[in-house]
A and B are shown apart, each in its own frame.
Chain A
Amino acid sequence: MLFENRDKTPPTPAKLLRGWLEPIVADAPLAWLDHQIAAVESGDESALYLAFGFAPRKVGKQPLEPSALQLDLAQEARSGWDPSRWSVGQAARTLLLLSIPSEDPAPYFARLEKLFNAAELNESVALFQALPLLPHPELLVPRAIDGLRTNVKFIFAAIAHHNPFPEENFSEAAWNQMVLKALFIGAELDPMIGIDRRVNPALAEMLIDYAHERRAAARPIPPELWRMVGPFADATALEDMAALFAAGTEVEQAAIALALAASATDEADEILRTKPQLASQLDQGKLTWSGVCAAAYAN
């Protein structure tokens, strides 16, 4: 059931989500959802809290599995929005969130806060993954930053991965903390939207220190770390990179090759030329950060 887009305005995320549910949710639960959405739109607070909890039970918990075409439409409706890992229940929850009256920011925000504060695990995921679709993003930044303090990796990932909200809204300090924490808890960097656009010297400096400290302690360094270091590599970084390039694992060497290419200094070039085979793989575009990420976390 594709959205008919006769005029030039792209469909809203809410319209898309509602349309995607149409063929996969039975009539009765869909009618239930529409009824709850209308109640939430009219300002009914307790309908919001109860329906938000009940939604997956009513409409189902199976994966949403949007098609490639649907994902394109999602991008068109909201750039960076990636619902490919969403469930049907999560889509329903997001529709409820999008129905909260938001013209007056204070009561709108108070309702969202109540949902965040009482959220169970799957609700937290739904809330954080809905962030890029919600109005008044500036009000939601502290909540997103706070969410990254979790010990639960899949909640961290709901904010940090496949989500355009951090790139668009985080200060440099908050962004850098997110990247650092990801490295500490073993969360991938590649799925972070904007990871290369938001490199910065302060982050690189912290990571260079961290990598150097790890190397001194003979501990492994997450290969993805070099992605943020490459463009700002200083003497310390180059020394560590040269050592890893010479004696590291295959994935470490690939990461260093990519970082050296990004550094674009003569010294970096020299190090790169010590391994002509990797340099040529690099030239042929065979090495990618996504590949490094996949290899680093494979097992």
Chain B
Amino acid sequence: MYIDPHIHCSSRTTDDYERMAEAGIVAVIEPAFWLGQPRSNAGSYHDYFSSLVGFERFRAAQFGIKHYCTIGLNAKEANNERLAEEVLDMLPLFLAKENVVAVGEIGFDDMTAAEERALRVQLDLAKELELPVMIHTPHRNKKRGTYRSMDIIEEHGVAPHMVVIDHNNEETAKEVLDRGYWAAFTIYPKTKMGNQRMVEIVKQYGSDRIIVDSSADWGISDPLAVTKTANLMLSQGIAEQDVQLTCYKNAIDAYNQSGQFNEADWLNPTPIDEQKLFEGNSVLRGQRPDTNTPQEDEIIS
């Protein structure tokens, strides 16, 4: 049983959902993020948020996967200041929703003043609503961006145990863990983190507060990254308990600080939820899911 606590399902196909469910993924978190191109107005942001709390959650449920999300204005779009202002105003309308488990993904991209302002406003909101925070760390200038994010979080009095710092690497892991944060690692082919490297990280740092995710999105990415990494860890002698922590349990402990990410939700769904979520098969449209999964390379580099 695994969780992918960072995946952009809106960009994925139903085949992906089927394969994820077969691979043992029981729950996912979809953080609000960039669409790959800039949004031209706040209305399209509104509809994106409402699909994260609405249709995407329904679609995932049709494949037996519990879907949660995080809501936030991402760093790139914080730089469009007029749009940013409207989106920040919109956040209270979405952050209180039942399946919203954190404010995120927020943080830095270019490390501009506008990005910093949006980050600060959203940290205050997270504090006010007692929600965890998911921090996106930048691709460029990662180390400085990561440290700067943590400095600002501490300035705002948000407790490190309420914050998941994502997209870590060998350079950032130690400082993030030392300062008391959850450290998430994105297994994303070619650019972010490979799963063999991930195995080494768990060997070095253990499993305390370490979280594995796929960040699979509209790019070349792998929605099975969490399961493949878990398999690789097991095959290289990492204890089962550590695999369960990094690929399942730590995500629950981090995000259930929202009160909205509880194992019971997928282990014993209440009758009401079951009736609601599994009735009405509009995505499958009468087709049977194809269960022929090809064997794939388990190494993600």
Contact = CB atoms under 8 A, between A and B. Distances in A.
Contact of B54 (A51, A57, A61, A120): A120
Nearest to A120: B53
Interface in A196-228: none
Given A53-B98, A120-B98, A46 B92 contact: yes
Contact of A154 (B92, B129, B275): B275
Contacts of A153: 279-280, 282
**What DSSP secondary structure best describes chain B's contact surface?**
helix
A118 B46 contact: yes
Nearest to A154: B276
A5 interface: no
Given A153-B282, A154-B279, A185-B280, A124 B92 contact: no
Interface in B132-161: none
Interface string B75-96: 0000000000000000011111
A114 interface: yes
A46 to B, nearest CB: 6
Contacts of B58: 121, 152
B244 interface: no
A54 B46 contact: no
A99 to B, nearest CB: 17
**What DSSP secondary structure best describes chain A's contact surface?**
helix
A124 B51 CA distance: 12
A123 interface: yes
Interface in A118-143: 118-125
Interface in A38-56: 46, 49-54, 56
Nearest to A55: B96
A52 B170 CA distance: 43
B92 A122 contact: no
25 contacts: A46-B92, A49-B93, A50-B129, A56-B98, A61-B270, A61-B272, A62-B270, A87-B272, A114-B93, A118-B46, A118-B53, A118-B93, A119-B53, A120-B57, A121-B57, A121-B58, A123-B97, A123-B98, A125-B276, A151-B280, A152-B55, A153-B280, A154-B276, A154-B279, A154-B280
Q: Which 6 A-B pairs have the closest CB atoms?
A: A153-B280, A53-B96, A120-B53, A151-B282, A154-B276, A120-B97
